Amino acid sequence: MKYRAGWLVALGLSLLLGCRARTPEPTVQSVLEGQLTVRAEVDSIPDYRDFEVLVYRQVAGEPDTLGLAVTDSTGHFAMTIRAPAPGLYPLRISRRGATLASGVLVVADGDSATLRAEFPLEGRRLLVRSRENAAWLAYQNAIAQHNQDLLRQLQAAPDSAALAQIVERTLALLESVERTYPNTLGAQWAAAEAIRLLAGWNDTLALARFDSLSPDNPRYLEAVQAIRQALARRDGQQATVRWLTALRERLRRPELRVAVQAELVRAYMDSLQDEAARAGLDELTHMTTDSTWLRWAERVRYELDHLRPGMEAPFFVVTTTAGRTITLDDLRGSYVLLEFFWPEDPTYLNELAYRNALAETYRALPLNVLAFSVQPDTTVNEAFHERFVQAGQAVILPGGLRDPIAERYNVTTLPVRWLIGPDGRILGRFEGAGALARLQQTLARLQSGTHESSPS
C-alpha cells in the first residue's frame, strides 16, 4: 500500500472548515516568518520574490484570510496571523497563480513560528517550526503510527491481543506528547484522543480520563461522543441518555450544554429512536437562539425525513477527475461508499492509509468508493493528488459545502461517509471518532452475509 505522508458535532471542525459565523474581533495572534527559495538547477537567477504565503479559514464556503505575506527578492517573508480562536488552519504557498504547496499551521496566542522551504518540494511536506507546531507534529506522528499498526493488523488475521497492544503503544505515545508539550494544542488533542482510543476497550479508564478533561479542550465534544458510543454499546441507550443529561446539567457554558443536547439527539438517532430525536431537537431549539445551531437542527430534521437507514439514497450525477460520468443508478448491484472530505484536513490525511486499506480489502464485496472533495479549488485538489494515493474515484464538488450533492447528503462535518446498499438504499452514516473502525465492522458483516449497518 503506497502512502506518501502523514463527530465532531456540527461546529466541532469550525476552526478548520469555517462552519461557524465570523467572529468580529480576533482573539488569537501569532507570528510566522521564513524564507522560500528555488533550487539553482531549476532557476539559476536568485530572485525569490512573489511567493504568496496564505493562512486562512473557510467561512460559508469562502476563504477568510487570517494572514498573508509576499516574499521579497531574497525569499524572506513575515506576517502576523490574527485568528478567532486557537486551532489548526490551512496554509497555502503559491506563486504567479500556481499553488506550490499546502499544509496546516497551528495558530496559538503568542506562538512564533518559522518556515523555510526550497522548491520544488518533490514530495517533501512543509515543516513549520515552533513549540506549538512541534507538539502538533508529535501528535500527528503518534496517530500516523497508530494507523499504520491498524493497517498491518487489518491485513493479518484478527487478533484481539494484538489490537490491545496497538492501543497500549499509542496511549504511551499520546501521554508522551502531553508530558513533553504541556498546555499546547497538540497536547490537548492527545488527551482527547486517548479517551477516544480507550472508549470501547477500557470504558472505566476512559470515563476516569474524561472526568479530568477540561471543557475548554478543543476536542471535548469528540470525547463526549466517544464516551456516548461506548456507553451505548456496554450499558444500553437509556444509560447513555442519563449520562448525557447529567453532563449537560453540570456544564456551565451555554454553548457546551447545547452541544451535549445535540449529542442526545444523535444518540437517539443511532438507536433509531427518531421520534425521541425529534423531541430532543425541539428542546434544543428552546435552549438557544444561536442561528448556527438552529440551522443545524433544520439539517437534522431533514436527515430524519430523508436520510435514515432503509431510505432511498439521494440521486446524483457526477463527473470524476478522470472525466467519467457516474450516476447512482450506474452503481446498482454494488455497495457504494460516498465520502465527503476536505483535502487539507489533517484528520483525513492521518486516516488516509487505513481508509485506503478498507477500500482495497472490500473492493470484491463489491464496493465502489466515490471521494467527494468539498474544496472547489482545482489546484488544491491537484496538489493533494500529487502527494497522496486515494483509492476509489475522485470527484470535485464545485459548490463546496453548498453544492447540491453536499446539501442533499446533509454534509455539516468532515470527513463523513455514507454507505449505500446494492438496492440503492442507505445502510448508514459514518462520522467522527472511530468512524473507520465502525465502517470496517459493517463491511466485515456484509462480507460474511450479515446485512446490518453501524451508523455513526
Q: Does domain 317-447 have CATH number 2.40.70.10?
A: no
Which tens digit of pLDDT belongs to each residue from 19-43? 333 334 568 999 999 999 999 998 8
Longest dimension (CA), the chain: 70
**Which amino acid appears at position 316 of this protein?**
F
pLDDT reading at 320 higher than 80: yes
Which residue reads 501569532 in cell numbers?
A: 30
Output the DSSP codes for 35-70.
EEEE-TTT--S---TTEEEEEEEEETTEEEEEEEEE
pLDDT, tens digit, for every residue of 166-194?
A: 989 999 999 999 999 999 999 999 999 99
- Helices marked H in 199-343 — which ranges? 203-211, 220-235, 237-250, 254-270, 274-287, 291-306
- Mean local confidence (pLDDT), 189-211: 90
The distance of Cα 91 from the centroid of its chain, to the nearest Å, equals: 16
Listed residue (244, 216, 217) closest to 230, CA to CA: 244
Output the pLDDT for position 114: 98
Model confidence at 163, pLDDT cuts 50, 70, 90, reads confident
Is 266 in a helix, a strand, or coil?
helix
Residue 303 phi/psi, 5-degree rounding, is -60, -40
Closest CA to 342 of 15, 1, 114: 15
Q: How many CB atoms lie within 10 A of CB 233?
A: 12
- CB-CB contact of 186 with 135 (8 Å): yes
Of 60-69, 213-222, 313-322, which gets the smallest average pLDDT?
A: 60-69
Helices (H), 288-408: 291-306, 346-350, 352-361, 378-387, 404-408
Residue in 427, 409, 417 with CA at minimum distance from that of residue 310: 427
**Would you place residue 5 in the very low, low, confident or very high pLDDT band (cuts 50, 70, 90)?**
very low
Q: Identify whether the C-beta of residue 65 lies closer than 8 Å to the C-beta of residue 117.
A: no
Specify the amino acid at residue 202. N
Return the closest-CA partner of residue 291 out of 11, 12, 24, 61. 11
- When pLDDT is cut at 50, 70 and 90, the band that residue 283 belongs to is very high
The pLDDT score that the predictor gives to residue 61 is 60
* Mean predicted confidence (pLDDT) in 347-358: 88
Parallel/antiparallel/unpaired status of strands 51-59 and 87-95: antiparallel
**The two domains 133-306 and 317-447 share their CATH topology (first three levels equal):** no
- Helix (H/G/I), strand (E/B), else coil: 368: strand
* pLDDT for res 22: 37
Percent of residues, the chain, with pLDDT higher than 90: 65
Q: Mean pLDDT throughout 152-162?
A: 75
Higher pLDDT, 368 or 2: 368
Higher pLDDT, 73 or 60: 73
CATH topology of domain 133-306: 1.25.40
Our CA angle for 443, 449, 455, nearest 5°, is 40
At 174, which amino acid appears?
L
Sign of CA dihedral 293, 295, 296, 298: positive
| pLDDT tops 90 at residue 210 | yes
Apex CA 120: angle with CA 116 and CA 126, to 5°? 40
- Cα–Cα distance between 78 and 33 in angstroms, integer? 4
β-bridge mates for residue 312, sequence order: 425
Can you tell me the mean pLDDT for 354-363? 92
As a whole-number percent, the residues of the chain with pLDDT over 70 amount to 91
Q: Which of 383, 400, 339, 335 minimizes the C-alpha distance to 361?
A: 335
How high is the mean pLDDT of the chain? 88
State the amino acid at position 349 in one-letter form.
L
Task: Note the CATH architecture for domain 14-126.
Answer: Sandwich (2.60)
pLDDT at residue 106 greater than cutoff 90: yes
pTM for the full model? Answer: 0.76
Residue of 322 and 149 predicted with greater confidence: 322
Residue 4 above 90 pLDDT? no
User: Any residues with CB less than 8 A from the CB of 170 and at least 6 apart, and which?
Assistant: 142, 143, 145, 146, 149, 197
Task: Write down how long the chain is.
Answer: 456
Return contacts of 155-163, CB within 8 angstroms, 24+ apart: 155/357, 155/361
Domains of the chain by residue range: 14-126, 133-306, 317-447
DSSP 331-361: GTTSEEEEEEE-TT-HHHHHTHHHHHHHHHH
